[in-house]
Amino acid sequence: MTAPVEPALRPHRLDPWRAALARLSRGLLIYGLFGLVVAALGLGALLYVSGRVTNLGQRVSTEVRSLIATIDQTATVLDDAASSAESITVTLERTPPTVRQAAATVTNLQANLRTTEAQLASIIVLGSQPLANVASLFGQMASDMDGLDTRLGLIATDLEANRAVLLENAGSLRALGRRLDAIADDLRTGLIQDSLTDIGIVLMVMAVVLVGWAGLPAIGALGLGFWLRHELRRKGRAAVPEAGRWDAPDGAPGE
């Protein structure tokens, strides 16, 4: 008699469904890891930018306060300059008539000096002119006044023109001062700081959305991938003792 032969084990053949599930689990794990990396990088970048925006907002607040103080001082200086220019125009308003009056006085005085010169030169005593030297002095004074009335008239005209220019400049300075006051008031409303705060809030919301959009599916994919891998391993271990053998005839093996 020959010894009984143990039936040979069936060769292991991988179930195509298990192979597909194994590939799916690996894909889910890779997708989950990649999604977590993307979410972490995006979250870090957004938090960094948000921090920078917050710091910028603080710096801008400080600079805006300093700028407001500077603008207020500048507006005050411009208003004072406008007031000074307007006060000068009052003086210039009174000066041209006075200068023209002086020009008329010079004209009359010159004529009187010429008349006096002629009268003194006409006095003759014993065939001589004893007042000729005095008459010459009056004539010299009259000659020295030649053109003085014209120059005084030109000065009066220039003063009137300068007064008009100063009035225009005073108006421009005062308008600029009011404009600077309006700018300072706009800056005091905190529009710039509020805008930067809104940007920071938007960035934080984007960070939350990014985590929800990339992080949660990635976490779900990782969990599902690990669960599939665990189930495949558990099913594989349970299937080893139950593996089939080579088919044999019914009954005891042949002798």
Residue whose C-alpha is closest to residue 72's, from 177, 222, 164, 152? 177
Site of tokens 């300068």? 162
Tokens of 184: 């300072």
Provide DSSP, 42-55: HHHHHHHHHHHHHH
Show contacts of 185-189: CB within 8 Å, 24+ apart.
187/64, 187/67, 187/68, 187/71, 188/68
128 by DSSP, 3-state: which?
strand
Asked whether the beta carbons of 74 and 109 are under 8 A apart, the reply is no
Tokens of 208: 């939350």
- Give me the residues of the chain with pLDDT under 70, please: 1-15, 236-255
The number of angstroms, rounded, from the C-alpha of 31 to the middle of its chain's C-alpha atoms is 43
pLDDT at residue 1, as a whole number: 43
pLDDT at residue 4, as a whole number: 47
pLDDT in tens, 241-251: 544 444 444 44
Q: Tell me, what DSSP letter sits at residue 118?
A: H
